[in-house]
Amino acid sequence: MKTEASILEIKDLRIHFDTFDGTAQVLDGCSFRLGKGDTLGLVGETGCGKSITAKAILGLLPVPPTRIVSGEIYFHSRDLLAVSEKELEKIRGNQIAMIFQDPMTYLNPVFSIEKQMIDVIRGHARHTHKTVSHKEAREKAIGLLDAVNIPNPGKRIREFPHEFSGGMRQRVLIAMALAGDPEILIADEPTTALDVTIQAQILRLIRELVERFRHSVLLISHDLGVVAAVCRRIAVMYAGNIVELTTIERIFENPSHPYTRGLLRSIPNLTRRGDNLVGIQGSIPNFIEPPQGCRFHLRCDHAMDVCRKVKPVLNDIEAEHRVACFLYESSWPSTSRPKEGIRSLP
């Protein structure tokens, strides 16, 4: 069961994709919690399972070829994997909303912003057995556009998606996500394909909305800087596993998993000219035939024999800091704990 401190808890989630080449083990025991008013960033390379995790929460995975093999997703006291589709429809948007990464994919180009927002608002109302008139829905839509800082919302609401810039379209998606007054906002790469200036504006907007409405936020990104601008905590994901979970401050002051350190080393340092970028060797493993043990060991400079045989689990190394790595003594299975001291990262 979930703890009282959490409104969302994912426990040991395992998701497989059935393909012509075999079964891809996309998520391999993903676990984390999100508290009331909490902001958690989920970061990692493209293809590591971040968006799959988000879509699983809302039951948006294609079935087939997707199979949820095991795990639980608790929203308050309810396991979302056990509720009916009808119940999920009541939760989507009204209690948990998602901001997608490509607004032109999720905004219909042949309908005005007004029509699309009114349909969303009235749709949410129907699922909660409320009646909202066209006029009331339009007034709420204008208010939401104003809340996300779209100028002259009463006029612009009549326009079509192609008349908005990329940043303005993303603001419209954020307004739609707020339409059902959700407890949780899931933002899936909300600044993708936006220039740096607009990206900063969108991140500032999300931060302001969190402070004003006290939403809990799960922010998905491959950019540590984006997550640092919005979130209090961070979960680093690699190949379907959470490998490090801590606060934003600690991830920069004391990154502990070799993968996290590799991500930080690969960020360009604008204060030191002439420094070469240091990337992480290799690539994400094949999910159809993933390596035994720690999935990162093929790319890790600190890999030991146990890393090739046993999968590490998240363990506390200090308060609010959990790491899945055998470089830390608490991660070792009791039956194979070494007699010699555990190595530490340089």
Percentage of residues in the chain with pLDDT exceeding 90?
49
Q: What is the tens place of the pLDDT at every residue in 294-314?
A: 999 999 989 999 999 999 999
Is 106 domain-assigned? no
Q: What is the pLDDT of residue 309?
A: 92
| Summary mean pLDDT of the chain | 86
Q: What is the tens place of the pLDDT at every residue in 21-55?
A: 999 999 999 999 999 889 999 999 888 999 999 99
Q: What is the pLDDT of residue 274?
A: 66
pLDDT bracket for residue 2 (50, 70, 90): very low
Q: What is the tens place of the pLDDT at every residue in 115-153?
A: 999 999 998 888 777 888 899 999 999 999 998 889 999
Among the listed residues 172, 187, 178, 249, the one whose alpha carbon sits nearest the alpha carbon of residue 218 = 187
Is 346 domain-assigned? no
Q: What is the pLDDT of residue 131?
A: 83
Q: What is the pLDDT of residue 330?
A: 61
Is 279 domain-assigned? yes
The count of domains in the chain is 1
pTM: 0.87
Q: What is the mean pLDDT of residues 281-287?
A: 88
What is the separation, in whole angstroms, between the first and last Cα of the chain? 39
Asked if the model's pLDDT at residue 339 lies above 50, the reply is no
Backbone angles phi, psi at 127, to 5 degrees: -70, -20
Is 135 domain-assigned? no
Residue for token pair 């979930």: 2
Q: What is the pLDDT of residue 341?
A: 38
Is 189 domain-assigned? no
Beta strands in the chain (DSSP E): 6-19, 22-35, 39-43, 66-75, 78-79, 96-99, 184-188, 216-221, 233-238, 241-247, 315-318, 321-323
Q: Which residues have a Cβ under 8 Å from the Cβ of 87 and sit 6 or more positions away?
A: none
The residue segments making up the domain with residue 294 are 255-336
pLDDT bracket for residue 196 (50, 70, 90): confident
Is 323 domain-assigned? yes
d(CA 37, CA 207): 12
Q: What is the pLDDT of residue 343?
A: 45
Q: What is the pLDDT of residue 137?
A: 92
Is 234 domain-assigned? no
Is 259 domain-assigned? yes
d(CA 201, CA 29): 35
